[in-house]
Each structure stands twice: as C-alpha cells, then as structure tokens.
Amino acid sequence: MCLAVPHTIHEILDENRALAVAGAVRTEIRTDLIDTPATGDTVLVHAGFAIEKLSLSDAEELIQLWDELRSLAGDDHAG
Amino acid sequence: MIMPGSAGETAGLLRRISRTPLSVMEVCGTHTVSIFRSGIRSLLPPTIRLVSGPGCPVCVTDQGEIDAAISLLEKGAIVVSYGDMFRVPCARGSLSSKRAEGYDSRIASGAMDALTVALENPEKEVVFLGVGFETTSPATAVLVEETAKRKVSNLSVLSFHKMTPPAVKLLAQDPELGLGGFLLPGHVSVILGHDPFAFLPRQFGLPAVIAGFEPDQILFGLAEIVRQHESGVSALRSVYSRAVRPEGNQKAKAALERVFEVRDATWRGLGVIPASGLTLGKKFRAFDAEVRFDITLSPGTPPPGCRCGEVLTGRITPPECPLFRTKCTPASPVGPCMVSSEGTCGAYFRFFKGDRS
Amino acid sequence: MTNDPITLGHGSGGRQSAELVSFLLESFRKRGIGPEMEDAAVIPGGYAFTVDGFTVSPRKFPGGDIGHLCVCGCANDLAVRGASPDFLGISLVIEEGFPKDEAAGYMESAAKTCGEIGMSLAAGDTKVVPVGGVEGLIMTGCAVGRIQTPSVLSSSNLQEGDSIIVTTSIGRHGAAIAASRFNLSVDGLESDCAPLWPALQPILAEKGLRCMRDCTRGGLGTVLCEWAEASGLHISLEEDAIPLNLQVRSLCDVLGFDPMYMACEGCAAIAVAPGCAEDIVRKLRESPLCTEATVIGRVLAGEPSGMVSLRTSIGGERLVDMPFGELLPRIC
C-alpha cells in the first residue's frame, strides 16, 4: 500500500506544484501535503504527491536501538 | 560511534538473538513484496514465522466495489484507477477485461491524472477509483477539494479507501492467530504517526515496530520486534525516523478530516469492519460517484473454494490453500490475493522457493 | 483456455504470451509441423529464419523508430542463432489517412540500418486498411540468414556449470517506451535498439558457445525462465552482477516495475561452457554495444529444477518467475 519514492525538489512551480527528480526521472509533483517545500528538499512521493520531507540521517534513537540489539546478542561495545 | 548496520549485519544479529518461536505479522502488502523480493525470508531463523496481513488494499477491495466500478464503465463513464486495481476480478470481469471489451478504463499514476482526464473529456463522466489506505487517501482528498474548487462537474470519486488500524486491531485480538508482534507500515505511519498503533503494546502487550521498505529497514524492524519479545517487553518503536514523525503528517490528516467521513466497510475476506472505511463527507456529496450514479454497494460472495480471507488474516499460508497453484494462478486468479502483485499468494507464487515440488 | 477475449496482457511477453502462443500453435503442433521455440528457426541448407511483428507505440521513441526496430528485431533473432542478417522481407499494413512521408521515414530508418549490417530487402508487401483497421501502421519483418557457427546453437546445449552472460545493461527499450506512455521525462534514457550482429559475429567460432537469446518483450527474466524450463536445469543469478543503468533503475522505482521484465532490443543472453566466459566477455566488450557485457550467473543441476533463482543484494535468495501480463504502474 506504500510505494513511495524519494525525490529531490529542483524547482518550486507554484504553491501546490514542484519539479522533482528521482535518479534520472524528472516529474511534476503536488506539494499540498507538506509544509514549506523548498528547492533541495528530499521528499517521499506517492501517487504524485509529496507526503513527507525526509531527514537525511538516522536519529539518535536508532543508534540506541542498535546498541540494545547488539547488547542482547552479547556483542562487545566498541568506541 | 556505533551506527545501525547493513542488512546482512542486521540479519546476523537477528539470528543470534532469536531463541523462542515468534509469529510476526507484516501488515503491509508493500512489505510482503519487499520481503520476498530481497530474499529476507531465506535469511530468517526457523524460530520466526512471518505472517502476511491484510494490508494490500487491492486484495481487500470487496467484489461488490469492483462491480460498482464496472457498472459505471457500462454506463459510459471513463473510469480512472491506479494500475494495481486493473486486473482484480469480480464476477463480471475486471477493469482490464472490460477495456478489452471496448470500455474506457484508464490507468493513473497519480490522483490528479483523473482531473486531467476530466478536463480533456468534458462531454463524458469521469470517475476516479479511490483505493488505498492512509498513504493514498490524502491524495484523493486533495483531488476532491480541487475538483470542487474548480467546479469540474464531470468528475466524481468512488471512494473505497480503508483505514489500517481497525483491521490491525481485529487481528491483534484474535487469539487463534497467536501473533507475537507487528511490523507496521512505514508510509501509512508517515501520515498517521505513532499513536493510532499504540494500542498494540498498551492493550495487547504486543511489540509493534514501524519500518520502511528497504531490506535493511525491514530487518532492523524485525530485529527490534524479536528483541522486545526475547526481553519480555512490548513497546511501539519506529526505525523509520527519517520519514515518520511521531505526530504524523498534520496537513494530510487535516485534508482527510475536511473531505472524508468514516463509515463501516466490507473487507474482502474479513467481512464488515465497523468504522474502517472512508466516504466523501456531506460537503462533497456532489462529487461522490455513489450519490451521482445512485450506487448501492452489495458485498460480493467469494468464489467457491476461495480462502483468501484466511490468507489475508494469516490463518493459512498460500500453499495451504487447495486452489493455490492448481486452479488459482496469476493467469487465472480466483481471489484477490493472487491477482495483486503484492497479494500474498501472488508473491508466494512468483518468489518463493520453499514450496515448489 | 476458454473463448475469453485476447487482451494486451497476452501480448506483453511472459507467461500470458507463452500461453496464447501455445494455444494458437496447437493446430500446427498436432500435425507435427510446429516450430522450434527459439528466436529464429534453423531450416535445411544451413539457414536461420524468423518472423517478427512490430506494433510499438509511440512509433518514434528516444533511440529509434519502428523501422529501425523492425530491422534490429529480425536481425537480432538471426544473430543469436549464429546467422548473418542476409535478407529481409517487410510487410506494411497502413491505416487509411496515415501520412505518406511518415511511412517513408520509417522505411528510410529501416534501409539505413540494413545498410549498416549488410542486409538486403528481398521482398515486401503493402496493404492499406480502412480507418480503425490498425492503429496507424504496423510492420512485420521476415528474415533469413546463413548460419555461421560450426554447430547449432540451442537451449538443448545448456549444461550444468555453464555461465550466463548478458551483453549490456537491461531494460532500456521497455523503459523508454514506458516513459513515453506514462509521461515521464527521464534524462539520458534511450532505447537500446541496435543490431547485434557486428558484436556477436566475433564470438561465433568460440568453442564453448552454447546458445544465445535476444531479450525482447518480457526482458531478461523471461528469456532465462524459458531456458530453465526448456532445459529442466536451475539457473542461478547474482543480483549485483546484472548491469542496470540509472535511467532504467529510477524509472522502475517510480513506476513500481521490475527491471528484469523490461523489454530490451539490443541485449542478448549468452550461455557458455565453464572456463570460456572470460574470453567471450572480453571479445564482446570490444564492441561499443557490449561494453558492459558481464557474467551474471550459472547453470546448476538440482533444485529448484526448471527455475531461475536470484541471490539478492543482501545475500538472500528468491525465485525469478516469468512476468504476468502488462506491466502496469503501481502505487502499492
């Protein structure tokens, strides 16, 4: 139910539309569902709509989860 | 600094920490396909049983709903639908077979394509088939609002959108299924945030993890479910923080609130689930195809022998259905689980080594 | 099969097409006069023979047009059976009202490609049908050429231990057509439509050459499934080894397509004996059409027999089946 592909916004066309690129594919997307779309933003696109902006790095939370996993597996912690 | 690892590393960790049998339901059809495509099943230890759930909106679209769409074609309307729905059959055929008969069914890759078709064909009625869960319904909401704003009178929407949490709740409370954890749909969660699934740990003591669709995401999500299970804890966590905000997408949720009303819906294979479907709200009645064409939805009857309902709820695996690979194949699908490219049976048929003999 | 209407799915390559073809060939098969199921047939006298219809829409696409495609399609069918592209016959069926200059333009493309590979037009036919009889224009090509290999190349030569080579990055033609059909702009995307004879001729004398197939509708995946089914062997592929360019990869991501099933028109799958792959790959890479030629898998005995499996990028394993029906954009 969830095929959504990361795109980078190349140009804002108007309040609801932008030109975005995914790899070599250029496409016009709707931006009605996200706040303040800007050139350079990476967004998830589904059914022609940006549904969220992607942040580029995994949060601290994930690093902590990974830590917990390794600790359960009995791995040593490294620096 | 320890960073989350690669898919291979995560699979290795998972195999090391999994000690006791665990059934995990992966709710979302896109997860089902990604799991198969990437070969994750072959990397899991025998303690883990992955059960595919009803998160394939195509699979749970009731035959009565497809029948309604076909009746609109026969009335001379252009029916615009996402490609996923095109080959799903009901007793009278599918959007694809009707096109072969000369009716005008068309494929949209985005919701707004329907508006383009309507503007290009002002003398015809155009109906957009809104199918999908929370990832997809906001796009339909925007389509409806723009159609109303621009007064495009020849366009209407047939909404069969459904809501994920009610179905997940139904499965969580089924003792027969013996589920020990849920892998939650990443993109539905982009819209909804964490809260709508928080009942899983709170009410049922079940681990629930939101994950994206790349193999490393799925494995990380599964590993976290196993960790909780082995540690005797349950919590809602997300490994997809790059996309999912805990509060979800407020703009999308607001659009859904403005455009849709909740109603009971018939899920193919599961029956009626109260308050699990979306229909256009009163303000947009004029653009509701059910109103415009006076459609009454009647639930379809499953074809004889079809056990999609049991597959969709994870009660049986596709190979346990007697029709699987005998009468029911992608060439001649009996039920929706085989038709949809992300239906469990379709996925098993195309990707799975284990049962070929 | 019942008396159901034939659908576009039946024409997409893959399982549905195979079933339609099987159904339609019944009359010939039961009389014992049915065809070999290879890209071109070997006929007495040391020739290979093929026929191919071209209905591509749009008729002009990045990287070629229907005329160029007609010649390449037929010539490549011959080439993969080790036959030089000697003679071509073209049948044109044209819808009334079609612009004459456009039709001439496609013949110009076809003639140019023929000239490049030494193929001559030996026969032709033109029909005009009333409006609606065909969509614009369809071209059917029929070609014959002399086989230049010491022995017949066929899937029956496949053996345990053979290596599978693909000559170029996959799916470019299908992606170019899909981009046009679903209105996507893809920078640098062009069909791979090209005549392979100049690239394949240098390897025809190689001892270890088992068989070749032109990957067309249904893509690489279909061809390898057909090999596995015909031979009863197991073909095992390495996902990371399969050459795929950014254009095709991103189009497939956006539309939800699997590149394994995207049509090619200038890409061959080649099976070679153990130990011969390196030399053959090196020779292939000397051609500008095959600079990315590479080994992508092996033929194994044992389970799953008659099937293709893939070792995925993450080290998992799964099957590759034939695609079913038209490839349609997904949102799920």
CATH assignment of the domain containing C234: 3.90.650.10
Q: State whether C86 and C213 are in the same domain.
A: no
The residue of B2, B192, B210, B342 whose CB has the most chain A CBs within 10 angstroms, and thus the best one to mutate to test that interface, is: B2
Per-residue confidence in pLDDT tens, chain B, 357 aa:
234 678 989 999 999 999 999 999 998 889 998 999 999 999 999 999 999 888 888 888 888 899 999 999 999 999 999 998 888 877 788 898 899 889 999 999 999 999 999 999 999 999 999 999 999 999 999 999 999 999 999 999 999 999 999 999 999 998 888 899 999 999 999 999 999 999 999 999 999 999 999 999 999 999 999 999 999 999 999 999 999 999 999 999 999 999 999 999 999 878 899 999 999 999 999 999 999 999 998 887 778 898 988 888 888 989 999 999 898 988 788 887 887 767 889 888 877 755 443
> C26 in a domain, yes or no?
no
Sign of CA dihedral B213, B215, B216, B219: positive
* Cβ separation B139–A46 shorter than 8 A: yes
> Any chain A CB within 8 A of the CB of C254?
yes
Give chain C's end-to-end CA distance (angstroms, integer).
30
DSSP state of C303: S
Instruction: Identify the contact set of chain A against chain C, taking CB-CB distances under 8 A.
Output: 1-3, 5, 22-27, 46-47
Domain endpoint, select from C146, C173, C207: C146
Per DSSP, C147 falls in state B
Number of domains in chain B: 1
Task: Give me the residues paired with residue A6 across strands.
Answer: A44
Q: What is the pLDDT of residues C35-57, one digit of tens each?
A: 888 889 999 999 999 999 999 88
User: How confident is the model over C305-326, as pLDDT tens digits?
Assistant: 999 999 999 999 999 988 877 7
Query: Are C63 and C208 part of one and the same domain?
Result: no
- CB contact (8 A) between residue B142 and residue A32: yes
Q: Which residue has the tokens 């017949």?
A: C152
Instruction: Tell whether the model's pLDDT for residue C277 goes beyond 90.
Output: yes
Closest C-alpha among C137, C118, C138, C124 to residue C75:
C118
Instruction: Report d(CA B220, CA A65) in Å as an integer.
Output: 9
Q: How many domains does chain C have?
A: 2
Which of C180, C330, C331 best probes binding to A when mutated, by most A CB atoms within 10 angstroms?
Answer: C331
Question: Which residues in chain C are contacts of B187 at CB distance < 8 A?
Answer: none
Q: Which residue is it, tokens 């010649």?
A: C71
State whether A47 and B4 contact (CB < 8 Å).
Answer: no
CATH of the domain at B261: 3.40.50.11740
d(CA B85, CA B96): 9
Chains interfacing with A (3 or more CB pairs < 8 Å): B, C
Q: Same domain, yes or no, for C245 and C282?
A: yes
Average pLDDT, chain C: 94
Task: Provide the token pair at B250.
Answer: 């407020």
Specify if C231 maps to a domain.
yes
Across the beta sheet with B208-211, the strand order is B48-55, B22-28, B181-185, B208-211, B236-238
**CB atoms closer than 10 angstroms to residue C46:** 13
State the Cα–Cα distance between residues C201 and C284, nearest whole angstrom: 9
What is the model's pLDDT at position B357? 35
- Residue B30 CA to residue B343 CA, distance in Å, equals 9
Residue C24 covered by a domain: no
pLDDT at A58 over 70: no
pLDDT for A1: 65
- Please give the residue of chain C at the shortest CA–CA distance from B343: C332
Beta strands C137-146; C87-95: pairing state? antiparallel
E strand segments, chain C: 41-43, 47-54, 60-61, 64-65, 87-95, 120-129, 137-146, 163-166, 185-186, 209-214, 234-238, 268-272, 294-300, 308-311, 317-320
- Cis (ω within 30 of 0) for the bond into B138? no
Would you mind telling me the total number of residues written for chain C in this entry? 332
Determine the average pLDDT of the residues in C166-189: 95
What are the boundaries of each domain within chain A? 5-73
Half-sphere exposure for C90 (CA within 13 Å, toward CB): 28
ipTM of the complex: 0.92
CATH class, domain A5-73, is mainly beta
pLDDT tens digits for C234-269? 999 999 999 999 999 999 999 989 999 999 999 999
What's the residue count for chain A? 79
Determine the residue of chain A that is closest to B132 in CA distance: A1
Residue B47: which residues within 8 A CB-CB, separation 6 or more? B18, B19, B20, B21, B22
Q: State the CATH number of the domain containing residue C82.
A: 3.30.1330.10
3-class DSSP assignment, residue A29: strand
How far, in Å, CA of C8 to CA of B95, rounded? Answer: 13
Q: Which two tokens stand for residue C75?
A: 């010539």
Residues 14-43 of B with CB under 8 A from C: 29-30, 36-43
Of A48-57, B146-155, C64-73, C214-223, where does mean pLDDT reach its minimum? Answer: A48-57
Neighboring chains of C (3 or more beta-carbon pairs < 8 A): A, B
Chain A partners of B111 at a C-beta cutoff of 8 Å?
Answer: 47-49
Q: How far apart are CA C292 and CA C295, in angstroms?
A: 10
How many residue pairs from chains A and C have C-beta atoms closer than 8 A? 42
Q: Enter the DSSP assignment of C58.
A: S
Q: Which pLDDT belongs to residue B3?
A: 47
Q: CA A72, CA B270: separation in Å to the nearest integer? A: 38
H/E segment holding residue B126: strand B126-130
- Kindly state whether residue C130 falls inside one of the protein's structural domains: yes
CB contact under 8 A, A25 and C185: yes
Triad C20, C25, C28: Cα angle to 5°: 170
- Domain end: C122, C146, C170, which one? C146
Q: Which residues of A touch C189 (CB under 8 A)?
A: 24
Instruction: Say what percent of chain A tops pLDDT 90.
Output: 71
Strand, coil or helix: B288: strand
Q: Nearest CA to CA, how far is A67 from chain C (Å)?
A: 21
Chain C nearest C-alpha distance from A24 (Å) = 5
Q: Which residues in chain B have their CB less than 8 angstroms from residue A44's CB?
A: 187, 190, 243
C260/C297 same-domain check: yes
Other beta carbons within 10 angstroms of residue B346's beta carbon come to 28
In a domain, C5, yes or no: no
SS3 label, residue C215: coil
Residue C117 lies in a domain: yes
pLDDT tens digits for range C108-165: 999 999 999 999 999 999 999 999 999 999 999 999 999 999 999 999 999 999 999 9
Is the per-residue pLDDT at C1 higher than 70?
Answer: no
| The amino acid at C315 | G
Contact C315 B11 (CB under 8 A): yes
Chains in touch with B (3+ beta-carbon pairs under 8 Å) read A, C
Closest CA to B58 of B37, B26, B82, B91: B82
Distance from CA of B102 to the nearest CA of A (A): 27
Q: Which domain holds residue B183?
A: 1-357
Whether residue B241 and residue A62 make contact (CB cut-off 8 A), yes or no, is yes
Q: Judge whether C17 lies within some domain.
A: no
Question: Same domain, yes or no, for C42 and C170?
Answer: no
Residues 6+ apart with CB under 8 A from B57: A1, B29, B84, B131, B132, B133, B136, B161, B162, C332
Helix, strand, coil share (%) of chain C residues, nearest 5: 35, 25, 40
Q: Determine how many CB atoms are found less than 10 A away from the CB of residue B352.
A: 18
Percent of chain C with pLDDT strictly greater than 90: 85
Q: Is residue C2 part of a domain?
A: no
User: Which one of C186, C256, C331 has the shortest CB-CB distance to A25?
Assistant: C186
For residue C308, the enclosing domain spans 155-320
Contact check, Cβ <8 Å, A24/C256: no
Contacting B with CB below 8 Å, chain A residues are 1-4, 30, 32-35, 44, 46-49, 51-52, 54-59, 61-63, 65-70, 72-75, 77-79
Taking every pair of Cα atoms in chain C, the longest distance, rounded to a whole number of angstroms, is 57
pLDDT at position C86 is 98
CA separation for the pair B220, B199 (Å, rounded):
22
Q: Is C188 on the interface with A (CB under 8 A)?
A: yes
Q: Quick check: A58 and B5 CB within 8 A?
A: no
Q: Measure the CA–CA gap between B135 and B357, rounded to whole angstroms.
A: 38
Chain B residues in contact with A4 by the CB 8 A cut-off are: 135, 187, 190
Residues of C in Cβ contact (< 8 Å) with B56 = 332
**Within a 10 A sphere around the Cβ of B187, how many other Cβ atoms?**
28
CA distances from C309 to C230, C296, C320 (A): 16, 12, 5
* C123, C56: one domain: yes
Report the residue from B29, B37, B86 with minimal CB separation from C318.
B37
Our CA-based measurement puts residue C305 at a distance from the nearest CA of chain B, in whole angstroms, of 9
- Cα C305 to Cα B166: distance, rounded to the nearest angstrom: 43
Instruction: Specify the residue for token string 């997408």.
Output: B249
The distance of C181 to chain B (nearest Cα, Å) reads 11
Q: Residue A77 pLDDT > 70, yes or no?
A: no
Tens of pLDDT along C298-308?
999 999 999 99
d(CA C237, CA C223): 13
Residue of B84, B143, B188, B190 to mutate, interface with A, max A Cβ within 10 Å: B190
**Residue finishing a domain among C94, C117, C146:** C146
Separation CA B301–CA B321 (nearest Å): 18
Q: Do C331 and A46 touch (CB under 8 A)?
A: yes
Q: What is the mean pLDDT of residues A51-70?
A: 85
Q: Is the pLDDT of residue A76 over 70?
A: no
One-letter amino acid at B60 equals V
The pLDDT value recorded for residue B1 is 28
Chain A residues with CB-CB distance to C185 below 8 A: 25-27
| 3-state secondary structure string across B30-89 | HHHHHHHHCCHHHHCCCCEEEEEEEECCCCCECHHHHHHHHHHHHCCCEEEEEHHHCCCC
Q: What is the DSSP string of B84-109?
A: GGTT--BTTB-HHHHHHTT--EEEES
Q: How far is C188 from chain A (nearest CA, A)?
A: 8
Distance from CA of B113 to the nearest CA of A (A): 9
**Contact status, residue C178 vs residue C257, Cβ threshold 8 Å:** yes
> Residues C84-113: pLDDT tens digits?
999 999 999 999 999 999 999 999 999 999
Look up residue B42 and give its amino acid: S
